[in-house]
Every structure is written in structure tokens, then in C-alpha cells.
Amino acid sequence: MADVRDVGSVTHALEQATALQGPIEVLQYSPLPDKSFLRPVLETTPYDARAAVEFSVLGPMGAVHAVLQGMRVIGRGTVLFINGGTAVQAKVGFAGTSIAFAGQSAYAEMIHEALAPDGIHVGQLIIPGSIEEGHPQKDPEVLAETIWTIHSERGELRTFATSMDAED
């Protein structure tokens, strides 16, 4: 278990997992954001934004760095980020995720390009709105299949569970 806002905690947990199981081939980063990240922009303090950035930018950077050498040694790997729609379309009512998920998206885009020559695929699944049981595209089982497809087909960086217009 790790606190994703503490890079040292994330790194330590992944190093322990690697020591026990060997190199990590698939890293999925998808912790649930804190409700405090969903405040309106004018009510969001720099402290709130810092917490969101620690959660959505620094945590994933630490996680990737912790597994990257092992992926390079085995010559393959997948890094998968899962985000809500604010990763690609800011919302005034969700300042923390809008700011931090945008940073995570930029990071994902950069490492997608940088790691491709090493046989490491970076993908990002955008799920606009919420995960909904029974929804044709956002049901947990459907999303699990989508995640598997992103990993196995190693296509483009970004996959959308639904269109950004279909958030509800």
C-alpha cells in the first residue's frame, strides 16, 4: 500500500513489489481523486492545487520511474493512466482535477513518445463522467475489456470510453 501523494511511498511500494515478483510489466495508475479536488476554481487554494498535483503528476512520475528500468530490461511494458474527462476538457467546477489531470495528460503524451523506441507503450483511458454499472461503454466489465485492448493492441495514446459530449 502506498500514499500516491508521497513519491517516496509510491517508489518504495513498487520497489518492494519488484523485489518479490520481478520486473513490473504493466503499471496502471488510476487512484480515485479526493473530493477536495472537485471544488470550483475560485474556491480552490494553492494548497488544494498542490495536493492535486502531488496526486496526479508527481505520484505517477514516481511510479513510472520506479518501474521503468525493469520494463527496459525485459524489453516491453505498458503504462496506463485512467482519468476523467477533465484530463482533456477543463471544468470550472472541478479545478483540482482540471489542473492536475491536464499535467498528467501532458506527462503521458511526452513519455508515450519517449518510451515507444524501448517497446514500452503508454496509454490513457479517458472516462467522461462516472463509471456506471449497466452502461454500454462505462460498465466496469466493458471498461476492463477496454483496458485490456489498450494494453494488448498498443495503439494510440488516448482512448475515450465515450464521447466528451456524452458525460451522463
pLDDT digits (tens, 9 = 90+) for 71-112: 999 999 999 999 999 999 999 999 999 999 999 999 999 999
Burial of 132 (C-beta count, 10 Å sphere; 0-12/13-18/19+): middle
Please check the confidence at residue 168 and state whether its pLDDT lies above 50.
Answer: no
CA angle 5, 113, 71 (to 5 degrees): 65
Instruction: Give the separation between CA 127 and CA 94, rounded to whole angstroms.
Output: 15
Please check the confidence at residue 61 and state whether its pLDDT lies above 90.
Answer: yes
Question: 167 falls in which pLDDT band (50, 70, 90)?
Answer: low
What per-residue string of b and e applies to 138-153 under the rule 16 or more CB within 10 Å gives b? Answer: beeebbeebbeebbee
Taking only the tens place, the pLDDT of each residue in 101-139 is 999 999 999 999 999 999 999 999 999 999 999 999 999
Percent helix, strand and coil across the chain, each to the nearest 5: 55, 15, 30
Q: Where are the domains of the chain?
A: 7-160
For domain 7-160, give the fold: Rossmann fold (3.40.50)
